[in-house]
């Protein structure tokens, strides 16, 4: 095994993020290119904690993860030594992150776009994934697109994220988000 490879031992159990799904692989690829030493990374919808752990191992100075699913946070705590909380992007401080990653769905990414922009520092980047090409989020503009099969991960400038608040859908964070 090459010496520059980072091993991420993850037993995802009931959480998303084993590393096998295309969107997780794309997010890992994007993190590899965008995370710089000492940066702050917020992982919104952290699932198993795989992306939080990767950001930490890639040199981020501070990584914080959140997920609305308590079971996912329990799984993430087994893999990631940093701070984690049950919640979403609205629980993060404004302008606190150099990199925000949100590997959920286009629908959820669009719904919390304003918060993703709010929590990202000026000049920072938002990585959104969890969607296929013909189901991409509407409130983001990609400055770079990572692709694997039909799946995508977008790197976005927070200044270009549309801020208008969508109609509140009380089921947006439903564990059955596909409904």
Task: Write out the DSSP string of 54-108.
Answer: HHHHTT-SEEEEEES-HHHHHHHHHH--S-EEES-GGGSPTT-EEEEEEES-HHH
Residue ranges making up the domain that contains 79: 22-158
Does residue 9 lie in a domain region?
A: no
Confidence of residue 103 (pLDDT cuts 50, 70, 90): very high
Would the pTM count as exceeding 0.95? Answer: no
Model confidence band, residue 61 (pLDDT cutoffs 50, 70, 90): very high
Would you say residue 167 lies in a domain? no
Q: Is residue 2 part of a domain?
A: no
Region 135-156: what's the mean pLDDT?
Answer: 96
Q: Place 18 in a pLDDT band, splitting at 50, 70 and 90.
A: low
């Amino acid at each position: 095994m090459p010496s520059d490879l980072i091993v991420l031992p993850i037993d995802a159990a009931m959480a998303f993020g084993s590393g096998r799904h295309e969107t997780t692989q794309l997010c890992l690829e994007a993190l590899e290119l965008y995370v710089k030493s000492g940066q702050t990374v917020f992982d919104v919808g952290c699932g198993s904690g795989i992306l939080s752990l990767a950001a930490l191992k890639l040199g981020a100075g501070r990584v914080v993860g959140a997920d609305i699913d308590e079971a996912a946070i329990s799984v993430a705590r087994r893999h990631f030594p940093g701070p984690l909380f049950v919640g979403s992007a609205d629980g993060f401080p404004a302008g606190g992150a150099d990199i925000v990653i949100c590997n959920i769905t286009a629908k959820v990414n669009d719904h919390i776009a304003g918060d993703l922009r709010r929590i990202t520092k000026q000049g920072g980047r938002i990585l959104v994934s969890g969607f296929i090409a013909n189901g991409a989020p509407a409130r983001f503009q990609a400055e770079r697109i990572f692709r694997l099969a039909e799946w995508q991960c977008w790197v976005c400038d927070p200044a270009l994220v549309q801020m208008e608040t969508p109609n509140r859908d009380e089921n947006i964070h439903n564990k059955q988000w596909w409904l």
